[in-house]
Amino acid sequence: MAEHVYICDVAKHEGKDVTIKGWLYNKRDKGRLQFLILRDGTGFMQAVAFKGDLSEEEFEAARRVTQESSVIARGTVRADKRAPGGYELSLNHFEIVQLTQDYPITPKEHGIDFLMDRRHLWLRSQKQWAIMRVRATVIRAIRDWLDDHGFLLVDAPILTPAACEGTTTLFETEYFGQKAYLSQSGQLYNEATIMAFGRTYCFGPTFRAEKSKTRRHLIEFWMVEPEMAYADLEDCMRIEEEFVSYIVQRTLTERQQELEILERDTSKLEQISPPFPRITYNEALEILRQHGEELPWGEDFGAPHETILASQFEKPIFVHRYPAQCKAFYMEADPEDPRLSLSVDLLAPEGYGEIIGGGQRTASLELLEQRIQEHNLPREALEWYLDLRRYGSVPHAGFGLGIERTVTWICGLHHIRQTIPFPRTLGRIYP
Ligand code: NSS
């Protein structure tokens, strides 16, 4: 039996006989020639079954094999410029492991609900395959960059006693007779771990009961959250622009084929390098006013506002110093104007919206106590967090980058729901 190889490695076996184990993705019937597109998880490849090269039984199997049947194919690897991927398999053995009947996702167009109900099968399609591979590379780039820049991975808990990002989107659960909530963000715990380890990050799933149905919101999403002791708003922006540029460039290098499958115009991504433009909230309001969008001071931006702002620039932009009233309780006050917070959001270009939220955290115990009261948060559950301001408080800053928003942007997708293997959206928890 010829060696089992993965499709991603066939180039190394040109002229040799190999075995591919996978599934039938698609086929064309040309009588004595059957063109079979195989996939094995690592890639897609055309195999050609010629009647004269196979036993009668094997050729018959190649002729009647159906979409998504599991198959084992052996043949000679030949370079062929016309073949997708540049190589083709001339079959000399073919067998069906399981013949699939009536695979529901056919090459024709399907509605989104139909596909989402069959997400467990939809993941086999080429575009979904490409997106998941981009996602894996984005995550790898994130971890490599942080690990190489002195950030220690310190995980935050998922079951928590208090809110981080406001009480309106909390998922409540019961914890041995006590109320508990699914984490909206690991930030508060990061603020503890930086006082022990200097620079840390947590990376995991976060949960928000978002009641609005938009193309940018998931109920369960993954966030990476770096945090730094002895750092201010400026440091935060400098780290963010280096970090995001690295993620984009690494993905461009390693996921060319996938971005091509997704028909992404990569010229826009090639330009992503530091520095990114910085505008204040007040300047942003002025830009919006010039574009006919009058927003009262103190209100946060919605998706259409972000799109207008981002469209003024080629690169992602920082919007900093939002009014304290539209941001979370932990934001440091701007010493030059205490109505403002030392917060910063990063908006992706091309209308993909906010991908990062963060800023400098309140270092003062008094201000923090006041904010906890103003936001009506349960002080007892945050007593440990106040300790961080009692014992060696320092200026510190950090941010959270949403994985799915970032992948949506890099892949150039219309909707966030395709960027996570099994999306949790408003009302959907199946499959
Ligand atoms: O609410 S954030 O703006 N900020 C925080 O949670 C901070 N506590 C993070 C920190 O400083 N450590 O969310 C951060 C990012 C935001 O920019 C989006 O990219 C993403 O998290 N995000 C979401 N992605 C998908 N779906 C939903 N619902 C969502 N909410 C936030």
- For ligand 1, atom 29, name the residue with the nearest CA: 217
Pocket probe for ligand 1: among 185, 210, 211, the residue whose CB has the most ligand atoms within 8 Å is 185
Q: How many beta carbons lie within 10 A of that of residue 308, not counting itself?
A: 17
Report pLDDT for 318: 98
Instruction: Please report the pLDDT score of residue 84 as a whole number.
Output: 82
Work out the angle between the directed axes of helices 383-390 and 365-374 (0-180°, nearest 10).
Answer: 160
Report which ligand 1 atom has the smallest distance to the Cα of 223: 21
Pairwise CA distance, residues 37 & 89, whole Å: 10
The two structure tokens encoding residue 210: 């978002």
Q: Which atom of ligand 1 is nearest to the CA of 357?
A: 3
What is d(CA 346, CA 313) in angstroms, rounded to the nearest whole number? 12
Cis (ω within 30 of 0) for the bond into 274?
no
- One-letter amino acid at 195 equals M
The atom number, within ligand 1, closest to the CA of 208 reads 28
Q: Torsions phi, psi of 199, nearest 5?
A: -130, 125
Distance of CA 141 to the CA centre of its chain: 12
Q: Please name every residue paired with 204 in a beta bridge, in sequence order, or none if there are none.
A: 223
Distance CA 365, CA 328 (A): 16
Supply the residue whose CA is at minimum distance from atom 20 of ligand 1: 402
The residue whose C-alpha atom lies closest to atom 6 belonging to ligand 1 is 185
* Alpha carbon 134 to its chain's center: 8
Please give the Cα distance from 396 to 235 (Å, whole number): 10
Ligand 1 center–CA 86 separation, angstroms: 41
Quick check: helix, strand or coil at residue 258? helix
Which of 405, 415, 416, 426 has most ligand 1 atoms within 8 Å of its beta carbon, as the pocket-test mutant? 405
Give the position, in ligand 1's atom list, of the atom nearest the Cα of 403.
19
Contact 59, 15 (CB under 8 A): no
Strands 396-402, 220-229: pairing is antiparallel
pLDDT for res 427: 86
Strand order in the sheet with 159-160: 159-160, 178-182, 172-175
Nearest CA to ligand 1 atom 31: 402
pLDDT value of position 75: 98
pLDDT for 260 equals: 97
Low-confidence ranges of the chain (pLDDT < 70): 1
Gap from CA of 218 to ligand 1 centroid (Å): 10
Give the span between the Cα atoms of 1 and 21, in whole angstroms: 13
Q: What is the pLDDT of residue 82?
A: 87
- The pLDDT, as a whole number, for residue 319 is 98
Angstrom distance (rounded) from CA 383 to CA 379: 6
Q: Whose CA is nearest to atom 27 of ligand 1?
A: 217
| Measured distance CA(196)–CA(341) in Å, rounded | 26
- Residue with CA at minimum distance from ligand 1 atom 13: 357
Instruction: State the angle between helix axes of 403-411 and 233-254 in degrees (0 to 180), rounded to the nearest 10.
Output: 50
Task: Answer yes or no: are the C-beta atoms of 200 and 194 closer than 8 Å.
Answer: yes
Q: Which residues make beta-bridge pairs with 323?
A: 340
Q: How far apart are CA 366 and CA 374, in angstroms?
A: 12
- Residues having CB within 6 Å of any atom of ligand 1: 164-165, 185, 187, 208, 210, 217-218, 221, 223, 225, 354-358, 398-400, 402, 404-405
What is the DSSP code string of 49-115? EEGGGS-HHHHHHHHH--TT-EEEEEEEEEE-TTSTTSEEEEEEEEEEEE-----S--SS---HHHH
Which ligand 1 atom lies nearest to the CA of residue 416?
25
Q: Write the single-letter amino acid at 164.
A: C
- What is the residue-wise DSSP string for 384-396? HHHHHHHSS---E
Kindly report the protein residue whose alpha carbon is nearest to atom 24 of ligand 1. Answer: 402
CA distances from 91 to 18, 47, 81, 357 (A): 10, 7, 18, 53
The pLDDT score that the predictor gives to residue 164 is 87
Cα 24 to Cα 101: distance, rounded to the nearest angstrom: 12
Residues 397, 235: Cα–Cα separation, whole Å: 8
pLDDT of residue 163: 86
For residues 255 and 137, is the Cβ–Cβ distance under 8 A? yes
190 CA closest ligand 1 atom index: 12
State residue 149's pLDDT score. Answer: 98
Q: Where are the alpha helices (DSSP H) in 104-168?
A: 112-117, 119-122, 126-148
CA–centroid distance, residue 402 to ligand 1 (Å): 6
The residue ranges of DSSP E strands in 154-265, in sequence order, are: 159-160, 172-175, 178-182, 199-207, 220-229
